[in-house]
Amino acid sequence: IYLLKGVEERCAPFWGNVSELNTPWFCFVAGVLHSEPEALRLAQAISESEGVELTGVYAHCGNTYGCRGAEQIHAVAHETTALVLQFMEKLKAVGISCKSSIGSTPSCSQPISDMAKLSEVHPGNYVFFDVQQSVIGSCGLEDVAVRVLCRVIGHSPHRNQLLLDCGWSALSSMAGGIVMLEGHVRMSLQEGYHMREEDVFPVTHSVEIACNDNKLSPMML
């Protein structure tokens, strides 16, 4: 969206001097704290501006990525949902009506009942899952829907490494992420893995890898 004159004037106290900007503005994971008075004032400023519509309130509970198991995920999802719904009541009290939404694949995978009170849920790689999600507790390895098929093209036992014909970005958006090789080897993209005698992967052998982070997968399909 382009920053309109009315929005610029009303939102200057929150965003600073942006009068010289004449480029599209894109929204990412950012915002203001729900507990700060500026949050409500910002919502009012946007809703009262001509040429722009406040369509919703969104919170991404990224702290679910530090969870291990459904119980911890439920606790984070409950807190995030409650805070969003509380803020929606504040908006309602001043006559503002819009959608409410939260995100994160773990919270969507392990939903709580109060999430039904939200307008929307925006998970990221929920449609595919990945090894990272299985570690968190969002899913099991059998639920990971995307695999990368590649070939073994070399061995480096002295470096504790196996060389494959795919780049790390095909397996994870984070260098050093953990992947699952044929379901039985936990392998780091940077550190290699311990080559056991029973792990025989001859050159030209095809291997199937469950990715660490499937956020890149839709762009590569």
Greater model confidence, 176 or 211 = 211
Q: Is residue 22 part of a domain?
A: yes
Q: Regarding beta strands 206-210 and 99-103, do their DSSP bridges make them parallel or antiparallel, or are they unpaired?
A: unpaired
Write the pLDDT tens digit of every residue in 80-121: 999 999 999 999 999 999 999 998 999 999 999 999 999 999
Q: How many CA atoms lie within 13 A of 60 on its CB side?
A: 12
The reply to whether 106 and 22 lie within a common domain is yes
Q: How many CA atoms lie within 13 A of 142 on its CB side?
A: 0
Eight-state DSSP code of residue 2: B
The reply to whether 36 and 82 lie within a common domain is yes
pLDDT bin (cut points 50, 70, 90) of residue 187 is low
CATH number where 146 lies: 2.40.37.20
The reply to whether 20 and 117 lie within a common domain is yes
The reply to whether 102 and 200 lie within a common domain is no
Q: What is the pTM of this model?
A: 0.70
The reply to whether 24 and 59 lie within a common domain is yes
- Give the three-state DSSP class for 118: coil
Q: Is residue 180 part of a domain?
A: yes
Strand arrangement of the beta sheet that strand 56-60 belongs to: 56-60, 99-103, 120-122
The reply to whether 14 and 63 lie within a common domain is yes
CATH number where 35 lies: 3.20.20.10
Residue 93 CA from chain centroid, whole number:
31
Write the pLDDT tens digit of every residue in 23-46: 444 444 567 788 888 889 989 988
Greater model confidence, 221 or 118 = 118
Looking at 74, 105, 127, the residue that finishes a domain is 127
Handedness of CA 181, 186, 189, 193 (dihedral sign): negative
Beta strand extents in 20-94 (DSSP E only): 56-60
The pLDDT assigned to 212 comes to 65
Q: How many CA atoms lie within 13 A of 53 on its CB side?
A: 5
Q: Is residue 172 part of a domain?
A: yes
Q: Is residue 216 part of a domain?
A: yes
Strand arrangement of the beta sheet that strand 161-164 belongs to: 161-164, 147-156, 206-210, 178-181, 185-188
Q: Is residue 205 part of a domain?
A: yes
The reply to whether 114 and 170 lie within a common domain is no
The reply to whether 205 and 121 lie within a common domain is no
Looking at 93, 127, 161, the residue that finishes a domain is 127
Looking at 127, 161, 178, the residue that finishes a domain is 127
pLDDT > 60? residue 133:
yes
**Domain region containing 151:** 141-220
The reply to whether 103 and 187 lie within a common domain is no
The reply to whether 123 and 41 lie within a common domain is yes
- Provide the number of structural domains found in the chain: 2
Q: Is residue 112 part of a domain?
A: yes
Greater model confidence, 193 or 33 = 33
Number of residues that this document lists for the chain: 221
Q: Is residue 186 part of a domain?
A: yes
Using CA atoms, how far residue 185 sits from 66, 67, 115, 201, 210, in Å, is 23, 23, 37, 12, 11
The reply to whether 31 and 60 lie within a common domain is yes
The reply to whether 106 and 193 lie within a common domain is no
